[in-house]
Amino acid sequence: MPTVNMYARPEVLTRDKHLKTRFSPLSNFKFARKLTSVPVVGVEFPHVCRRHPIGFLEDPQGGIHAQAILSLVENDNGFIDEEGRWLGTYVPSFIRRYPFILADVPNNPSDFAVAFDGDSGAFSEDKGEPLFDEKGEPAELLKNQMEFLRRFHAENLRTVELLKTLKAEGLLVPLNLDITRTADKARFGVRGLLMIDEKKLSALPADKAGLYLSNGLLALAYMHLISLRNFESLANRIGHKTDDQIPWWAK
């Protein structure tokens, strides 16, 4: 389940080049309308698990990452309508940080620079809030964005560190799912994700279960398992995204 890159023209933000640049918040989520899944961090699980299935992906280096599933069809976010309005109750932070993002600093893997999507339409020298003040220091808006990016990065590292235990304990199995929609018998498939084996999770020794309860991993695991019930509501959103067209039992 590939993730579409929202950043068409990422550009590193510098004082010399962008001293007069201003930012205007985007009025819609059209930039994310082709996303079918997005990374989520642990602190988001309580919000995400209510509406979105949460699956896991393994990267080439063996790291485990959580993904909120937004749609069962390619290039069509099930939670954004034609006007770009978000139809869910929670917008994942991966999407909320747009058009800003952290960028690697060459030859310094422990540091990051702030970057932005130059094609987002949110930046100009004519309107919006300034990114830098009269002294050339980050303005309040930019400070807030930088703090948000730092917190997201830190939470992502913490989540990846927690989730690597799932692989080490042998708790992950392929999530291969076939869904037949009740109303019209339309069929949808889910492939390429991992899920937690609930039987193996329940069989953990008491000492390990206690450790994973205290560090928060057990809570994440069960929120993930609960979230899998949302696949049926995702199927019901295809073709008619608004909540009033989705049965209450599938929301």
> pLDDT > 90: what percent of the chain?
80
Ranges of each domain in the chain: 10-246
Report pLDDT for 180: 87
Report pLDDT for 160: 95
Closest CA to 32 of 65, 62, 83, 77: 77
pLDDT tens figures, 64-78: 999 999 999 999 999
Under the banding of pLDDT at 50, 70 and 90, the label for residue 112 is: confident
Report pLDDT for 240: 65
- Give the separation between CA 117 and CA 128, rounded to whole angstroms: 16
Contacts of 168 (CB under 8 A, 6+ apart): none
Average pLDDT on 202-223 reads 97
pLDDT tens figures, 216-241: 999 999 999 999 999 988 998 887 66
Q: Are 227 and 48 in contact (CB under 8 A)?
A: yes
Instruction: Give long-range contacts, CB 8 A cutoff, 24+ apart: 139-146.
Output: 141/23, 142/13, 142/23, 142/114, 145/97, 145/100, 145/114, 146/114
Report pLDDT for 243: 55
Under the banding of pLDDT at 50, 70 and 90, the label for residue 186 is: confident
Pairing label, strands 37-39, 172-180: unpaired
Report pLDDT for 109: 66
Question: CA angle at residue 140 from 95 to 135, to 5 degrees?
Answer: 130
Closest CA to 65 of 38, 90, 44, 85: 38
Pairing label, strands 37-39, 54-58: unpaired
- Give the separation between CA 115 and CA 10, rounded to whole angstroms: 6
- Give the separation between CA 159 and CA 28, rounded to whole angstroms: 29
pLDDT tens figures, 161-181: 999 999 999 999 999 999 988
CB atoms within 10 A of CB 174: 10
Closest CA to 235 of 198, 193, 186: 186
Under the banding of pLDDT at 50, 70 and 90, the label for residue 249 is: very low
Report pLDDT for 9: 93
> pLDDT > 70: what percent of the chain?
92
b/e sequence 91-108, b meaning 16+ C-beta within 10 Å: ebbbbebbbbbbbeeeee
Under the banding of pLDDT at 50, 70 and 90, the label for residue 182 is: confident
pLDDT exceeds cutoff 60 at 244: no
Average pLDDT on 196-212 reads 97
